[in-house]
């Protein structure tokens, strides 16, 4: 079942569409006249939507997508020229996501170009599903700028550093197939199928215990910066509450009773 959020901020035609589909939130960038470029309003709407995702007991994962032929061109330069406002939300940073992604898993479903900030938005997501014709690039150096929305920080952690350096310094885009070869894109599907494939992947994740999923995401994201001799101790601080949770006991009971678990998030 697809359900539009009832929050009044989402009334009317707005640049971000938000749906709930069987425990998965689907966020759709909806600015076709601006190539889904992000202005301050869109960034704030996405930030609010991510807050609702993290706070909801019913939502376990999310998909972030654009139009059928274009993910996002990044920052709305026309809006910036007109207003002087950068698309930076005070809570979640650039584009409403790159500074502080959601606590729950989020999957980028990319069709067509994801360039500049559009690529950085995808990099802020945990997983990426792409149509065959999708392209990913950080062309900022071609315009006298730098990829300051996380591109230079996240890309070297997701693909070999020398290849990330080449992509940043040349500004040359990467195809979906190449990104899959490098391990950046999880799945490449026929054009037009990225959203459905991403929702299927999100639904698979949503079947698992929410506390365990969220703790696993935090450990994998943060452990790269932990000193090696502290990694297990720091991990324990995050996973012990999961181990002692009601969901952990429910998982064991469900396994013994050969039935699907009924997660409570507690």
Number of structural domains the chain divides into: 2
- pLDDT per residue over 84-142, tens digit each? 899 999 999 999 999 999 999 999 999 999 999 999 999 999 999 999 999 999 999 99
> Which of the following is catalytic: 19, 33, 140, 228?
140
* 156 within some domain: yes
CA distance 167 to 22: 37
> Which of the following is catalytic: 120, 230, 236, 240?
120
* 262 within some domain: no
- Residue 68's pLDDT band, with cuts at 50, 70 and 90, is very high
Is pLDDT of 12 > 80? no
CA distance 189 to 187: 6
Domain's final residue, options 163, 182, 206: 206
* 264 within some domain: no
Are residue 221 and residue 191 in the same domain, yes or no?
no
Q: Region 74-79: what's the mean pLDDT?
A: 91
What range does the domain containing 95 cover?
2-206
Are residue 192 and residue 221 in the same domain, yes or no?
no
* 265 within some domain: no
Are residue 160 and residue 232 in the same domain, yes or no?
no
CA distance 72 to 56: 27
Domain's final residue, options 165, 187, 206: 206
Classify the C-alpha dihedral 249-205-11-29 as positive or negative.
Answer: positive
| Structure letter (DSSP) for residue 83 | H
CB 188 within 8 A of CB 120: no
Are residue 149 and residue 229 in the same domain, yes or no?
no
- Average pLDDT across the chain, whole number: 93
Domain's final residue, options 206, 231, 246: 206
Determine what percent of the chain is predicted with pLDDT higher than 70.
Answer: 95
Tokens, residue 252: 């064991």
Which domain CATH number covers 252? 1.10.12
In the prediction, which pLDDT does 113 show? 97
Are residue 65 and residue 18 in the same domain, yes or no?
yes
- Please say if 41 is a catalytic residue: no
Are residue 223 and residue 201 in the same domain, yes or no?
no
Are residue 77 and residue 139 in the same domain, yes or no?
yes
**Which residues, other chains included, contact 87 with Cβ-Cβ below 8 Å and sequence gap of 6+?**
38, 39, 40, 42, 43, 75, 76, 79, 80, 94, 95, 96, 117
Are residue 6 and residue 131 in the same domain, yes or no?
yes
Q: Region 182-210: what's the mean pLDDT?
A: 97
CB 73 within 8 A of CB 35: yes
* 193 within some domain: yes
Per DSSP, helices labelled H in the chain are 40-55, 77-83, 117-124, 151-158, 161-170, 176-181, 194-206, 210-222, 231-243, 246-257
* 146 within some domain: yes
* 230 within some domain: yes
Are residue 89 and residue 32 in the same domain, yes or no?
yes
Is pLDDT of 174 > 70? yes
Answer left, alpha or beta for residue 110, where phi above 0 means left and psi between -120 and 50 means alpha. Answer: beta
Determine what percent of the chain is predicted with pLDDT higher than 90.
Answer: 88
Are residue 69 and residue 124 in the same domain, yes or no?
yes
Partners of 260 in the β-ladder:
none
Are residue 118 and residue 245 in the same domain, yes or no?
no
Is pLDDT of 158 > 90? yes
- Please say if 120 is a catalytic residue: yes
CA distance 83 to 64: 26
CA distance 177 to 183: 10
Tokens, residue 231: 């990694």
- Residue 14's pLDDT band, with cuts at 50, 70 and 90, is confident
Are residue 243 and residue 201 in the same domain, yes or no?
no
Which domain CATH number covers 93? 3.90.226.10
CB 134 within 8 A of CB 122: no
Nearest to 147 by CA among 95, 71, 188: 95
* 233 within some domain: yes
């Amino acid at each position: 079942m697809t359900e539009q959020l009832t929050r009044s901020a989402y009334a009317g035609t707005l640049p971000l569409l938000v749906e709930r589909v069987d425990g998965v939130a689907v966020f759709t960038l909806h600015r076709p006249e601006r190539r889904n470029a992000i202005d301050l309003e869109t960034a704030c709407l996405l930030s609010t939507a991510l807050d609702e995702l993290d706070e909801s007991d019913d939502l376990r994962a999310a998909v972030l997508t654009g139009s059928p032929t274009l993910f996002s061109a990044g920052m709305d330069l026309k809006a910036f020229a007109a207003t002087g406002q950068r698309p930076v939300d005070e809570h979640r940073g650039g584009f409403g996501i790159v500074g502080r992604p959601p606590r729950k898993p989020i999957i980028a479903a990319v069709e067509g170009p994801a360039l500049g900030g559009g690529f950085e938005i995808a990099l802020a997501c945990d997983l990426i599903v792409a149509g065959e014709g999708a392209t990913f690039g950080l062309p900022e150096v071609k315009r006298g700028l730098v990829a300051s929305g996380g591109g230079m920080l996240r890309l070297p952690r997701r693909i070999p550093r020398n290849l990330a350096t080449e992509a940043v310094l040349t500004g040359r885009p990467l195809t979906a197939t190449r990104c899959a070869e490098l391990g950046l894109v999880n799945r490449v599907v026929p054009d037009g199928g990225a959203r459905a494939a991403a929702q299927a992947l999100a639904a698979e994740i949503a079947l698992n215990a929410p506390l365990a999923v969220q703790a696993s995401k935090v450990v994998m994201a943060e452990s790269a910066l932990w000193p090696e001799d502290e990694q297990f101790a720091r991990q324990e601080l995050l996973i012990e509450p999961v181990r002692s949770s009601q969901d952990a006991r429910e998982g064991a009971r469900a396994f013994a009773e050969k039935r699907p678990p009924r997660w409570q998030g507690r």
